[in-house]
Amino acid sequence: MPTQAVTAANLLQAVVDVLNTTLEVTAAACEQVPGSAIFWRYVQRSYQNDPFRVGLELLLLCFGIAYLFHRKTHPDEGTMVKLSDKEIEELVDEWQPDPLVPALTEADRLELETLPVVAGSPGAKLRIKDGRVAVNLASYNFLGLVANETIKVLVWTEAQALRAKAVATLRKYGVGSCGPPGFYGTLDVHRDLEKQIAEFLGTEEAIIYSQSFSTVSSVIPAFAKRGDIIVCDDGVNFAVQKGIQISRSVIR
């Protein structure tokens, strides 16, 4: 028994010596790495201020290393059912897709019956299907260019010139470019238009947006901020609502 105890003690001492030597060699190697002293100071200060944080970071580091070297599992191909071409065709023929749009309910039908139907193109003034004329307060065609007969005649008589201009524009900018600068970047035509608008309005600069919705939702928070009071109607359109929300102003 005494001999076995001495042997076990010697073995334990040898293991401790190996661990101490390994730690000393590792520490010496780490000291040779540039910036290691800063890193160890960071670890020591972090442990003094928040030991739980150091433990959590070590746990995340171990998890990341284990996940990196973990063997990826693949499904057992032996358990997969292999179908013949005939079986696949039969399954495709039997498949019945769900409708993209659900059927109208009775409440939906009643709501649709109450909605006014516009006859003609939208503009500042609308002609309802029942003959009434109403003012359109939610139209983006506030200049009435869509229903302008003069513009229609001009486009029809100068169709060839417009077609040639369109071809020249495509050859210069390509088929992927479009009008709004927010999609494919600001081009020279955008800058020229902004310059002309600024000169016409007598301002230093002007900026054009991709769509009127973006204009409204961006201009409001540019002039209103947290702490300001905005008085608005409950029936303002969605773009105005989002602009007011983004401004974080007080709504009255």
Type of residue numbered 183: F
Block residue for tokens 């204009």 = 215
**CA–CA gap between residue 166 and residue 37 (Å, rounded):** 66
If you average pLDDT over residues 95-109, what whole number do you get? 88
- Contacts of residue 118, defined as CB under 8 A and 6 or more positions apart, other chains included, come to 126, 127, 128, 129
Element (H, E) at 172: helix 159-173
pLDDT digits (tens, 9 = 90+) for 228-238: 898 988 888 88
Residue 137's φ and ψ, nearest 5 degrees, are -90, -5
Alpha carbon distance 46, 39 (integer Å): 10
φ and ψ at residue 250, rounded to 5 degrees:
-80, 125
How many whole angstroms from its chain centre is CA 79? 40
pLDDT at site 225: 85
Q: Shortest CA distance to 114 belongs to which of 130, 102, 101?
A: 130
Query: Stretch 151-173: mean pLDDT, rounded?
Result: 72
Q: What is the pLDDT of residue 5?
A: 55
Mean pLDDT, range 120-149, rounded to an integer: 75
pTM value is 0.37
What are the structure tokens assigned to 218, written together? 């961006």
Residue 3, pLDDT above cutoff 60: no
**Residue 233 near residue 210, CB atoms below 8 Å:** no
pLDDT tens-place string over residues 204-224: 988 888 777 888 888 888 888
Question: Which range has the top average pLDDT, 35-39, 43-47, 173-177, 200-204?
Answer: 200-204
Q: Give 251's contacts (C-beta < 8 A, 6+ positions apart).
A: 230, 232, 244
173-215: per-residue pLDDT in tens?
877 666 667 677 778 888 898 999 999 999 998 888 877 788 8
The answer to whether the beta carbons of residues 179 and 165 sit under 8 Å apart is: no
| Distant-in-sequence, close-in-space partners of 234: CB < 8 Å, separation ≥ 6 | none
Residue whose token pair is 């105890």? 5
Q: Where are the domains of the chain?
A: 212-252
What beta strand segments (E) does 66-145 contain? Answer: 118-119, 125-128, 133-135
Question: Mean per-residue pLDDT for 144-153?
Answer: 64
Which residues are paired to 134 by β-bridges? 126
Helix (H) or strand (E) holding 152: helix 149-157
